Amino acid sequence: MVSSVTNSTICTHCGDLCTTKTIREGDHFFCCDGCKMVYEIIHESGLCNYYDLNKTPGIAQKNTVRSDKFSFLDESRIAEKLISFKDEYQTHIVFYLPQMHCSSCLYLLENLHRLHKGIVKSNVNFTRKEVDIVFENNTTSLRKVAEQLTAVGYEPYISLNDLKETRPGTDKSLLLKLGIAGFCFSNIMLMSFPEYLGINAAEAGIRNVFRIANAVLSLPVFLYAASPFFKSAWTGLQHRFLNIDIPIALAIIITFVRSFWDLFSGTGAGYFDSLSGIVFFMLAGRILQDKTYRQLSFDRDYTSYFPIAVSIVKKDKEIPTLLPEIKINDTLLVHHNELIPADGLLTKGKALIDYSFVTGETMPVVKEIGEMLYAGGRQTGGNIEILTLKEVSQSYLTNLWNKEKDSTNEKDNSFVHHVSKYFTIFVFVIAGFTAMYWSMHNTAKIWPAITAVFIIACPCALLLSNSFTNGHILTILAHNKFYLRKGEVLEQIAAIDHIVFDKTGTLTSAAEQEVKYEGEILNEIEKGQLAALASCSSHPLSKAIVAYLDVTDKPEVTSFKEYAGKGIEGYIDDRWIKIGAAGDNEELKNDTSVMLSYDENIKGTFYFSNHYRTHIPALLSQLKKEYRLSVLSGDNDSQKTELEKLMGTNATILFHQQPTDKLNYIKKLQDQGEQVMMIGDGLNDAGALLQSNVGIAVSEQANNFTPACDGIIAAGQLYLIKKFMKLCGANKKIVMASFIFSIIYNLAGLFFAVQGNLLPVIAAILMPASSISIVLLSFIASRFAARSMGLNILPV
């Protein structure tokens, strides 16, 4: 590492800038004592390869975790809700670790047994960011394991959602069906070659053996592998909706029946190869399209945000209690940086509540004893006590999440189903005319001709083109850090004509502030003193001042006192410095400015404004040319003038918007016939995201917690949203082009089918040729479209 502290010295553990030279271990410097402690633990355990695999792989440890945070895990009734397996000797537990991000993390977590005595082994599921730990009951405990993980920077995230009896796992049944269909398809094709090439009459016995073997191999394909299409078709019929799986299921059944008819009547070998091939290729396409990013969650509810347990104060004792067991009139103890789990009255302490994730208001709100606190807010001051007035299930946050979505907004309405309906009618018409023709010329050919029409004209080409194209586009978008729930969302995005943005955390970065200072010029010594005092405060504006000053050497703060939501004052180098209000510490009238005084003399004022994400002005300039735009903000209107310049005169900009206001605005636009995309980031956007035709959640990291949505976009990629939408529009064109291309094969097959002369060898050639052509066409066209738009694509 480095041997001296300079302006560019970074922390050995996390990579943050080191602001002092006092925190060090040998030649290694650290930004805080927490990072140094983690380094010492890892070094003493002989796991320093952690720092060799990746440069500065750790997570900053500036915010310490209180020693009793995991005390609730000592309660057996709570622990048993989390434990996967336990016997007399060992316990198995799975922890979710959102900090996991690189190979260094994998290395450290796979070697937990070297860090903590009692851990037998640990297995990491990197995509789900989970670690499965086995530990000895007589050596350690669940609490100690959680504390050990926290000590090395991987604090387990344990939420109310973990109380659910079952964890969502990977559905392997579709893969199993694909494997069975592939095995049977390849073997049926192999044993059908004698039929394709012709076989001597003397070898008829072998031919019959092959035919029977093909029939046997087709049974698991028909009875098991094809079941998803039968189930989907039956569901469509129950709802009186003709989806694309209905004609496909019909074609599979007819092919199966016709093949056995040919086999037992001795008229032919049947179409077992075509049957298994159809099922195999369509399952492959469905798996590609339905591929989910299982490390992400598009359906989180409020339980993912709430802690699993809190402390109830009874007779001056803290009692860990499961959240569902909280009752009205219970007194809850809420620590610094913890979420308020239920609505209640503040009864002890001074609250500084951050409601940004619930209301969109950027600045923490000061609450005094006797005032109402709502679930979802985060306490950013010291410990407080709350008298519960509503149970968790009835709190404001829960009601916000459970707002009923307008049932008139139907999201799953793919154009493929509409095309399939007319395609099916066309096939029945062709079959009808074929039957009429042969009834007048040769009745013996009615059955072969009609069944052949249904076999060759199966709309699997349409399903394949849609499935494979959707799958390729989804993969390209994911490679560019835009993750969609399913293929149908691509079509919905292509139809959007109105985009609604949340402001705070979406257009702007919640973690950054634009800072401007007006007043007397500060020298380097004064800047260091000011930075030292501001560093003692957890208020967002204080943190913004520290970042703005950007000093490395800060003097020691002799003493200080912070006034929640009002400011901080203290002695540094025998000077009395105040940040915040004037002499009487009254709250500033303008909550986006902070006054600075030295020895009771006002030096100047810091002014704060939202920091818009990189490229956002250029993005808005592009979007307003093609889409109607709106901005809904729960914040004040201090940024109204700047937003109007960015959005243009035709955009709608609304401030002080509560969650219900946002939801009602989306409904109003939809009632006017508009297709709406909502782009937001917080719980205050949850209802609007769900109600909109397409809801996109912005996340600083893809695995961060986001509201229920149709897609998740990395914050750094938001500027590419117009290109993503354009690619979604190209998706439908590629599907239709692939479908039209496949019709050429269908017409060639129908030429033989209507004559009642569709030989198995012809069907065997046309079916895979059509399927492979569609796969290649959709693959090449998707990559070409993405490349032409300047998006990243995976190498072949």
Q: What digits encode the pLDDT tens for the residues 453-496?
A: 777 766 666 677 777 788 888 888 888 888 888 788 888 999 99
pLDDT at 677 over 90: yes
Q: Determine which helix (DSSP H) or strand (DSSP E) holds 6, and give its type and residue range.
A: none
pLDDT at 775 over 50: yes
More confident residue, 414 or 132: 132
The band of 585, judged by pLDDT with boundaries at 50, 70 and 90, is very low
- Alpha helices (runs of H) in 266-408, residue ranges in sequence order: 272-289, 356-359, 396-401
pLDDT tens digits for range 516-552: 888 888 888 888 889 888 888 767 778 888 888 888 7
Please tell me the predicted confidence (pLDDT) of residue 646.
84
Region 709-717 average pLDDT? 84
Please tell me the predicted confidence (pLDDT) of residue 1.
33
Please tell me the predicted confidence (pLDDT) of residue 361.
61
The band of 2, judged by pLDDT with boundaries at 50, 70 and 90, is very low
* Candidate ranges 410-424, 707-721, 723-737; pick with highest mean pLDDT: 723-737
How many angstroms separate the Cα of 183 from the Cα of each of 273, 671, 698, 777?
A: 12, 51, 42, 25
pLDDT at 7 over 50: no
- Percentage of the chain surpassing pLDDT 70? 82
Given its phi and psi angles, is residue 376 left (phi above 0), alpha (psi -120 to 50 degrees) or beta?
A: left
The band of 291, judged by pLDDT with boundaries at 50, 70 and 90, is low
Structure-token match 């937001």, residue found: 680
pLDDT tens digits for range 256-279: 888 898 888 887 788 888 888 888
Please tell me the predicted confidence (pLDDT) of residue 498.
95
More confident residue, 95 or 364: 95
pLDDT at 418 over 60: yes
More confident residue, 589 or 602: 602
More confident residue, 444 or 527: 527
Q: Which residues contact 683 (CB under 8 A, 6 or more apart)?
A: 302, 305, 357, 358, 376, 397, 400, 401, 659, 707
Domain with CATH 3.30.70.100 in the chain: 69-163
Please tell me the predicted confidence (pLDDT) of residue 629.
93
Whose CA is closest to 133, among 166, 102, 152, 110? 110
Kindly state the tokens that stand for 761. Answer: 């060898």
CATH of domain 509-612: 3.40.1110.10
pLDDT at 701 over 60: no
The band of 702, judged by pLDDT with boundaries at 50, 70 and 90, is very low
Please tell me the predicted confidence (pLDDT) of residue 667.
92
Whose CA is closest to 507, among 685, 705, 687? 685
DSSP string, 564-594: TTTEEEEEETTEEEEEES-TT-PPPSSTTEE
Domain 69-163 indexed as CATH 3.90.79.10 = no
pLDDT at 294 over 60: no
pLDDT at 611 over 70: yes
pLDDT at 414 over 70: no
How many angstroms separate the Cα of 756 from the Cα of each of 255, 262, 335, 446, 483?
A: 14, 13, 79, 8, 48
User: How many C-beta neighbours within 10 Å does residue 239 have?
Assistant: 9
Region 207-230 average pLDDT? 90
The band of 358, judged by pLDDT with boundaries at 50, 70 and 90, is low
The band of 301, judged by pLDDT with boundaries at 50, 70 and 90, is low
Please tell me the predicted confidence (pLDDT) of residue 203.
66
pLDDT tens digits for range 28-66: 888 888 888 888 888 888 888 888 888 888 887 777 777
Please tell me the predicted confidence (pLDDT) of residue 317.
85
Contact 31, 16 (CB under 8 A): yes
Please provide the average confidence, as pLDDT, over all residues in the chain: 80
Length, in residues, of the chain: 796
Kindly state the tokens that stand for 57. Answer: 């792989």
More confident residue, 739 or 623: 623
- Alpha helices (runs of H) in 45-134, residue ranges in sequence order: 49-53, 76-82, 103-110, 112-115
The band of 582, judged by pLDDT with boundaries at 50, 70 and 90, is very low
Whose CA is closest to 309, among 289, 332, 291? 332
| Residues β-bridged to residue 498 | 628, 676
The band of 583, judged by pLDDT with boundaries at 50, 70 and 90, is very low
Domain with CATH 3.40.1110.10 in the chain: 509-612
Please tell me the predicted confidence (pLDDT) of residue 584.
45
pLDDT at 318 over 50: yes
Please tell me the predicted confidence (pLDDT) of residue 682.
64
**How many Å apart are CA 640 and CA 656, to the nearest integer?**
12
- Alpha helices (runs of H) in 8-66, residue ranges in sequence order: 33-44, 49-53
The band of 119, judged by pLDDT with boundaries at 50, 70 and 90, is very high
